[in-house]
Amino acid sequence: MITQWLIEKKRDGAVLSDQEIREFIAGYNNGSIPDYQMAALAMAIFFQGMTAAETAALTDAMMRSGDQISFDGWSRPVADKHSTGGIGDKLSLVIAPLAAAAGLAVPKISGRGLGITGGTLDKLESIPGYDTCLSIAEFKRVVEVVGCSIIGQTESLAPADKKLYALRDVTGTVPSIPLITASIMSKKLAAGAATLVFDVKCGRAAFMKSQQDAEALAKSLVTVGRALDRKCGAIITNMDQPLGRTAGNAVEVIEAIETLKGGGPPDTRLLAVELTAQMTVLSNVYPELDNAREKLAGLLENGAALACFRHMVEEQKGDARVIDDYTRFPQPGATVEIRAAAEGFVREVNAETIGRVVLQLGGGRRKTEDVIDRAAGVDSLAQQGQRVEKGGVLMRLHARSAELARSMVESAQAAVMISDTPPQERELIIALN
């Protein structure tokens, strides 16, 4: 294989064969193809795109660049969901134990937050002692005894993606649907799930701003998953407003626990049930979606999903007493309330602004090596359409100092628009695939 010929082939809009893609990725992974040639190919893909077959071949090659976890022979169906990330998205913390309570095995490998979107690992690590760095053998053991486990990315799963993602980040080649698809799918497939459900966020604070782009990504993920023999479904959901009434780390875990206790905000509960329903129906645990929604609501009401969460926390050495006593979570140094300047209806809560506020309060990272404050964040967040009185609380800001919390008051106030008339109700679920 002459590497530059393949770059030229893609540059000129031709279709690469499975073998050409496989050899390119293998060469990049073992260091024989340098970064500059991979960057050139990524840019050619960015401009020329890839067919579904090429994207599937790229995904497969990246998945095979490292270890693959096998659940062959397991009696429980193995399933997972992936979200493209948003503000206040604590759904994995609800869905993994809920799906486990329904009889699925959920081996979940999650990421950390970067920029304005939070990460499941950072949230979970606000539970004192919770270990996100299990060996693969230990991870599988926890999935077997609990039904779910959530850990961080290991070095050995899809290493070509890790290398390529870092390269894309500095070469302007992140927003390419085939490259995003291969990146997301290679990690998910290496983790071993037979069924995958995608929550593709769409809106102001999402990776995909327009419905058209979100639909294209959802279609690409589902098509490639099916081409590689997985059962796949996707939901496109609104990310103009934050999900739920909290954004941060410890505050989001508390809200997830409330949802697992049968309460929680309606949007969080609705999406958790909907995505888990898709996972269970695709995995043949329940025969159809309405039946699944009803059964899953029952597992939230009767404590079965909460019991799985508690068991997972215990197995991963976390202090499960936090579930009954929220004061055991990291506590903020100061809390400041944001109050409404006028009465009316909450017209919108700008998710992007809330994400920036959380980041500046210390709850997020600007660079991968930044240390985050797990107690920092926002809670009691007003919901779109809610009626508020003048002086009513729109949200509370938590930070390590009163000075830091007060420095964010103006931005936080600007995130909430109040109007005299109720706004049009937002559609949380925009489309199903």
Contact set with ligand URA (CB under 6 A): 165, 174, 179-180, 183-184
Give the active site residue among 108, 140, 168, 201: 168
Residue 230 is a catalytic residue:
no
Residue with Cβ nearer ligand URA (182 or 372): 182
Q: Minimum distance between the CB of residue 123 and ligand URA, rounded to whole angstroms?
A: 17
Residue with Cβ nearer ligand URA (230 or 311): 230
Q: Minimum distance between the CB of residue 275 and ligand URA, rounded to whole angstroms?
A: 17
Residue 75 is a catalytic residue:
no
Distance CA 350, CA 415 (A): 5
Distance CA 284, CA 274 (A): 15
Residue 187 is a catalytic residue:
yes
Give the active site residue among 76, 108, 163, 187: 187
**Minimal CA–CA distance to 276: which of 106, 101, 95?**
95
Residue with Cβ nearer ligand URA (114 or 394): 114
Give the active site residue among 161, 199, 240, 379: 161
Residue sitting closest to ligand URA (CB)? 183
Give the active site residue among 83, 183, 186, 220: 183
Q: Are 211 and 55 in contact (CB under 8 A)?
A: no
Residue 398 is a catalytic residue:
no
Q: DSSP label at 319?
A: -
Distance CA 190, CA 210 (A): 29
Q: Minimum distance between the CB of residue 428 and ligand URA, rounded to whole angstroms?
A: 22
Residue with Cβ nearer ligand URA (185 or 281): 185
Residue 311 is a catalytic residue:
no
Q: Which helix (H) or strand (E) holds 409?
A: helix 409-415
How many C-beta atoms lie closer than 10 Å to residue 227's C-beta?
A: 17
Residue with Cβ nearer ligand URA (179 or 277): 179
Q: Minimum distance between the CB of residue 183 and ligand URA, rounded to whole angstroms?
A: 3
How many C-beta atoms lie closer than 10 Å to residue 316's C-beta?
A: 23
- For the stretch 39-71, what's the b/e string if a residue is b when 16 or more beta carbons lie within 10 angstroms of its beta carbon? bbbbbbbbebebeebbbbbbbbbbbbbbeebeb
Q: Minimum distance between the CB of residue 195 and ligand URA, rounded to whole angstroms?
A: 19
Amino acid at 368: T
- Active site amino acids: 82, 161, 168, 183, 187
